Structure 1
Amino acid sequence: MTLMAAKFTPEVLLSAPRRSPGLPNPSGKLALYTVSSYSFEDHKKTSQIRVLDVSSGESSPLIEEPGASEPVWIGEDEVLYLKAGEHGNTSLVVRQLGSAEASSSYEAGSVKAPISEVIVKALPNGTVAFACSATTNPHGELHNPEVEKEPHSSAKVYTSLFVRHWDTWGSKNSSSIFYGALEKKDGKYSLKDNKLTNALAGTGLSSPVPPFGGSGDFDISSSGLVFVAKDPKLDAAIYTKTDLYFIPLETFTETNPPSPRIVKTPGLEGYSNSPVFSNSGRKVAFTRMRSNQYESDKPRLLIVPDIADPETTEEFYATKDGDGGWDTRPESVLWSHDDATLYVTAEDRGRTLIFELPSTPSKATSIPTPIKTPEGSVNSFHLIANPSTTSQAKDHLFVTSTSLIDNSNYAITHPASGTYSVVSSASKQGKSFGLSRGSIDSITFRGAGGDYDVHALVVRPSSYSPEKRYPLCMLIHGGPQGAWQDSWSTRWNPAVFAEQGYVVVCPNPTGSTGYGMALEDGIKGDWGGRPYNDLVKCFEYVAENLPEVDVNRAVALGASYGGYMINWIQGHPLGRKFKALVCHDGVFSTLNQWSTEELFFPIHDFEGTIYDNRAGYEKWDPARFVNEWATPQLIIHSELDYRLPVTEGLAAFNVLQAKKVPSKLLMFPDENHWVLKHENSLVWHREVLAWINKYSGIEEEQQKGLTDGVGQLKV
């Protein structure tokens, strides 16, 4: 399902079908995925669950019922999925492949509340363990907002921190993990006793961890359940500490689960993430950070050799100084069939790659190297080799990836041979969008510190000619501990800007991830220092080394920390180099950082609290330099952005207006830190492109008919 287009416009970007990561069945012959599309003509979103034939690359619709979601395999040709019903109820539905008749689908159970994040695992007794997440009330019972009585007052009263998080005000409800068992009788599965048990009831623990926690926060096996949860003894707004816990379960029908046992990791007290059982169900691999107040600290890869003894853990590449010998950030983990090898994803110079290493820390004596995967970045991977095979050389991985030109790619990767084969590309590897790898490039230049390099991705128009000149579009990423990657985005897609007629440069300056911890950590206490100077160096490098780029018509855009940097640039000499600026959800004043929700963020990045180190906040405050603001600027902010309240955008806009600097405010009352709704996103793109095109001169060229429709000057 692809969308053909002669020009990659915002409408094409936003209406193109969006595929979920592929989920292969045990043999790897078939793969499940969901796909959704949006019609700007009908103003409606449609979705379906499809099944892919891996050998042919052809797919067909499997389930097109409204409310159907989260398909998982419970056998070679049986699919379990959730179906939202009336009054907030959820049905567990099983579909048998190979038949289009209605009798091939049946309800295996029902839950009187919304549930999500389904994980299933076959057990030795022939049943299938089932786990999911759901919201619970203070009594540990399933919470169903559709049947809850509305209070007579809307007042909210708080006596502790974390009154709101991301885009939601705090409540007494919490997230929890529920489990049950699926039995098969007379050829059909059913949820035993039609009952799910709250694994965390009465523990004071909550998992998955909001706001972005999901199925990656827990896993199940024949040994039981592992999950990560915030330390209830610490204030979640000030500390990042999440621990790994284990609950032994044999049948997943236990009505009174044992108390969770904490996994001990001496010296590591930060985020715990990505727990994954080995195939034997005895070992667990996971990651954990050292600092309990640094959300972007380096994750360390660890293993629990025997989950029956959760107090014994081993760290990979451990060093005496505690810094760790592998200077990267391991994320997702996958075990080989024989449990002798780990496959681990990590960022590496603008890509997310898969690394291969022994599953025993003592045998991991050399720094791992990435295996061969398609161009772009990996966002999901699964093992599909024959389970009876004991040789690691037989492992094959079903990999889902994206790139700057391709919004969804499924491939089979063969670690032993260092090869891969593409199974299916939603956009025919960019061709459906008129995009190609020939438009993608990168540059490397010396950073402002003089002892490190800075890498930047470069995207040129599909109609690019080296004989012509194009205005510069510099995109500044958020985080600040983040990076531009060779991956797809429906919010900040460099190709959309390039197709307007820009050469787009996406620098990864000080603070960026994927280039070693020294560069990432270098931003601490230096928000407007080295990162800003790296961007100055980037601008100078482009001006001196890319003759096709017209820096006299340059524009710059950024969101979140990138928005902060736009406001910082506005008050400094680099701001006069740009014809126009765009600030999305940016920081107006660092003195307002304590109006955010996760206070550990400013405490770390500004080296203390605002009352202990006010000077550290004042030093990098963009509001100190508003007297220099002079470049036309578009301000974008949303009312549900509790990370950076809307007043930050209003303050910046008010200053620009009062100073008579050309400016515009775009506000979304129903969006958070991101603009996610299709219609809102289309307005966002139209306003942003109109703003920069006006000041870069592209709009005038288009109006005069001097361009070919994408801002490229005719010859």
Structure 2
Amino acid sequence: PDMPKVNIRIANDMMYRHWNYWRDGSFSHIFIASYSDGQIGEAKDIMEGEAWDAPMSPYFSDSDIAWSPCGKVLAYACKKYYGKNLATTTNSDIYLYHVDENLTENITEGMMGYDLHPTFSPDGKQVAWQSMETPGYESDKHRLFVMNLKTGHRMYITKGFDQNADNIAWSGCGSNIIFTSGINATEQIYKVNLKTKEIRKITDGWHNYTWFAPAKGTLVAQKMSMSMATELFTINPETGEETQLTFINKNIYDNIKMGEVTQRWVKTTDGKQMLVWVILPPNFDPNKEYPALLYCQGGPQSAVSQFFSYRWNFQIMAANDYVIVAPNRRGLPSFGQEWNAQISGDYSGQNIKDYLSAIDNVKQEPWVDEDRLGAVGASYGGYSVYYLAGVHENRFKAFIAHNGMFNFESFFASTEETFFPNHDFGGPYWDKDNKVAQRTYANSPHKLVHKWDTPIMIIVGEHDYRIAYTEGLQAFNAAQLLGVPSRLLVFPDETHFVTKPQNAVVWQREFFSWLDEWLKK
């Protein structure tokens, strides 16, 4: 009170900020109220006095809350930890709040990974949810579990299925559960019979089904592809037959030409096959030579699937007369758990070789100018660009890194979800007896920066609390001191992503201005 102009934050524990906001001592809680004749009754906090968030921070998704059909039980997911414990664990649980008794029970006690997205069966006798097994591993297999609420018996429904189960929903009769899952860099809709555990793929094709809802014997779903922003479709759950409902962008598509999206399987250095998307310019001429861009994916466990985004958009890149090479390197889902898990503890290893295998394969095409190659990426993809800048042996002529990890030690000590580097790096940098961790830190990009000699543009958002924007400042300052042509873009009001419309337009302009300067001379 005696110093009204003071502006300060004080922390006595970890997780003082999360993703894009600083914690201020308040929490997101679930409230319930009666509803009758259009009137809402007095609201009741079912988590009164509890110092944690539901829905969970930082995304606060309502998919983590579900009412039972009778309206007497509420299921929700929550991480009931605080501070350092919250920062170092993925252990969330599914809780059932019994309205009449004012009691809460934990139905996933002893399951130490993420437990998320509960949903009740139509008769209210069972609850299904998504579960991960490994503590601290945020990209573990998304398992489908079902519990009989009368007996308490848990069933692991997708035990023999080597992919994830997402967006789970019950069929109208309650004998099946429908879900989405990745397969070969696409997102399809599946159905599992709860009695036989038989899993059947309903849809097929080069697309992503990102959400759906059962509706009177059919499914209403959101579908996208690299050449189509999200539209609504209906799907026959028995035949997979699709009918498009919305045509929001038809007038735009009718007046532009899309580049051809192609697929190839490339042999990796360890003898495996890797799916690589190659997107060609809209007016592709096989007799011309084009510059090519290697796209490095973030995550790191996030598939290069048939996504459409206004941020990283392959059709926009191709429309600027670039061939786009988008590999599903090691560490990406939809190719089985072994492929997905391999990257943990091996950041500078096989997945980097996979990137080079992809670009080395495509650059042999007569329509690619191997003297005009670039590499771009964000987050883990930004790290990949920083690392490639030190090992690429003159393959590339330009780089763009967006919010990437440059110095693994400073990243470990500044990120908010410490469970992530604890698992994927192998542990903290001060654990000198940990061989996996020490190998990770020994291959941090900043230790190869003396080999940088290729123009690089670096982009950061000051409100990125996952990978602090100072990672990019370190990289830019190093490039400048080394005399490497470099440019720094700082967005003071953006996070890990650039989401504000005008900022996004400037991002695209700067992106192509930099690439054109070095790859189209």
Which TM bucket (shorter chain)?
over 0.9
Q: Number of aligned residue pairs: give it.
A: 511
How far apart, in 1, do the equivalents of 2:481 and 2:52 lie? 50
The amino acid of 2:98's aligned partner reads: P
| Structure 2 residue aligned with 1:173 | 26
1:346 aligns with 2:192: no
Match of 2:80 among 228, 231, 253: 231
Question: Secondary structure of 2:201's match?
Answer: coil
| Structure 2 residue aligned with 1:470 | 290
| Structure 1 residue aligned with 2:404 | 586
1:183 aligns with 2:22: no
| Structure 1 residue aligned with 2:421 | 602
| Structure 2 residue aligned with 1:502 | 322
Match of 2:108 among 255, 264, 267: 264
Q: Contact (CA 8 Å) 1:164, 1:170: kept in 2 or not?
A: yes
Q: Offset at 1:600?
A: 0.6
Distance 1:565-1:210 versus aligned 2 partners, 3 A rule: same
* Stretches of structure 2 lacking an aligned partner (at least 5 in a row): none
| Structure 1 residue aligned with 2:225 | 403
Q: Offset at 1:375?
A: 4.5
1:559 aligns with 2:412: no
Distance 1:571-1:429 versus aligned 2 partners, 3 A rule: farther
How far apart, in 2, do the equivalents of 1:411 and 1:317 lie? 26
Q: Contact (CA 8 Å) 1:244, 1:262: kept in 2 or not?
A: yes
1:671 aligns with 2:494: yes
1:48-67 superposed matches below 5 A:
none
Q: Contact (CA 8 Å) 1:480, 1:512: kept in 2 or not?
A: yes
| Structure 1 residue aligned with 2:308 | 488
Q: Offset at 1:570?
A: 0.5
Match of 2:245 among 408, 419, 423: 423
Q: Contact (CA 8 Å) 2:346, 2:440: kept in 1 or not?
A: no
| Structure 2 residue aligned with 1:527 | 347
How far apart, in 2, do the equivalents of 1:572 and 1:600 lie? 29
Q: Contact (CA 8 Å) 1:399, 1:412: kept in 2 or not?
A: yes
> CA-to-partner distance for each residue in 1:414-465, whole Å, 9 max, x for gaps?
02123111111322397246244x6111111112222x22112121121112
Q: Contact (CA 8 Å) 2:429, 2:441: kept in 1 or not?
A: no
How far apart, in 1, do the equivalents of 2:228 and 2:27 lie? 37
Alpha-carbon RMSD: 2.0
Question: Secondary structure of 1:555's match?
Answer: strand
Q: Contact (CA 8 Å) 2:129, 2:145: kept in 1 or not?
A: yes
The amino acid of 2:320's aligned partner reads: Q
> CA-to-partner distance for each residue in 1:94-138, whole Å, 9 max, x for gaps?
xxxxxxxxxxxxxxxxxxxxxxxxxxxxxxxxxxxxxxxxxxxxx
Distance 1:170-1:510 versus aligned 2 partners, 3 A rule: same
| Structure 1 residue aligned with 2:200 | 369
How far apart, in 2, do the equivalents of 1:435 and 1:237 lie? 47
Match of 1:247 among 97, 111, 115: 97
How far apart, in 2, do the equivalents of 1:374 and 1:513 lie? 17
Match of 1:537 among 357, 360, 373: 357
Match of 2:45 among 195, 198, 202: 198
Q: Contact (CA 8 Å) 2:347, 2:440: kept in 1 or not?
A: no
1:9-28 superposed matches below 5 A:
none
Q: Offset at 1:163?
A: 1.5
| Structure 2 residue aligned with 1:20 | none
Query: Higher mean Cα deviation, 633-642 or 412-421?
Result: 412-421
Q: Contact (CA 8 Å) 1:406, 1:430: kept in 2 or not?
A: no
| Structure 2 residue aligned with 1:209 | 56
| Structure 2 residue aligned with 1:146 | none
Q: Offset at 1:657?
A: 0.8
Q: Offset at 1:618?
A: 2.2
Q: Offset at 1:471?
A: 1.1
Distance 1:623-1:520 versus aligned 2 partners, 3 A rule: same
Return the index of the structure with the highest Cα Rg: 1
Match of 2:236 among 384, 397, 414: 414
Question: Secondary structure of 2:269's match?
Answer: coil
Question: Secondary structure of 1:654's match?
Answer: helix
Distance 1:634-1:655 versus aligned 2 partners, 3 A rule: same
Distance 1:330-1:655 versus aligned 2 partners, 3 A rule: same
| Structure 2 residue aligned with 1:328 | 163
The amino acid of 2:168's aligned partner reads: V
How far apart, in 1, do the equivalents of 2:125 and 2:255 lie? 47
Question: Secondary structure of 1:571's match?
Answer: helix
Distance 1:237-1:459 versus aligned 2 partners, 3 A rule: same
Q: Contact (CA 8 Å) 2:27, 2:51: kept in 1 or not?
A: no
Q: Contact (CA 8 Å) 1:526, 1:620: kept in 2 or not?
A: no
Query: Higher mean Cα deviation, 336-345 or 535-544?
Result: 535-544
Q: Contact (CA 8 Å) 1:280, 1:339: kept in 2 or not?
A: yes
Q: Offset at 1:578?
A: 1.0
* Stretches of structure 1 lacking an aligned partner (at least 5 in a row): 1-149, 251-256, 319-324, 386-394, 701-715
The amino acid of 2:409's aligned partner reads: L
How far apart, in 1, do the equivalents of 2:321 and 2:519 lie? 10
Q: Contact (CA 8 Å) 1:591, 1:617: kept in 2 or not?
A: no
1:79-90 superposed matches below 5 A:
none
Match of 2:457 among 634, 643, 646: 634
Q: Contact (CA 8 Å) 1:458, 1:504: kept in 2 or not?
A: yes
How far apart, in 2, do the equivalents of 1:190 and 1:578 lie? 64
How far apart, in 1, do the equivalents of 2:143 and 2:397 lie? 44
| Structure 1 residue aligned with 2:519 | 696
| Structure 1 residue aligned with 2:126 | 283
Q: Offset at 1:317?
A: 3.8
1:63-74 superposed matches below 5 A:
none
Q: Contact (CA 8 Å) 2:381, 2:401: kept in 1 or not?
A: yes
1:440 aligns with 2:284: no
The amino acid of 2:223's aligned partner reads: S
Q: Offset at 1:660?
A: 1.1
How far apart, in 2, do the equivalents of 1:578 and 1:331 lie? 37
How far apart, in 2, do the equivalents of 1:647 and 1:662 lie? 19
How far apart, in 2, do the equivalents of 1:642 and 1:294 lie? 19
The amino acid of 1:581's aligned partner reads: F
The amino acid of 1:259's aligned partner reads: L
Question: Secondary structure of 1:175's match?
Answer: coil
How far apart, in 2, do the equivalents of 1:200 and 1:645 lie? 32
| Structure 2 residue aligned with 1:685 | 508
| Structure 2 residue aligned with 1:34 | none
Q: Offset at 1:605?
A: 0.8
How far apart, in 2, do the equivalents of 1:490 and 1:370 lie? 29
Q: Contact (CA 8 Å) 1:405, 1:430: kept in 2 or not?
A: no
Match of 2:193 among 352, 358, 373: 358
How far apart, in 2, do the equivalents of 1:470 and 1:151 lie? 60
Question: Secondary structure of 2:34's match?
Answer: strand
Q: Offset at 1:205?
A: 4.5
The amino acid of 2:512's aligned partner reads: L
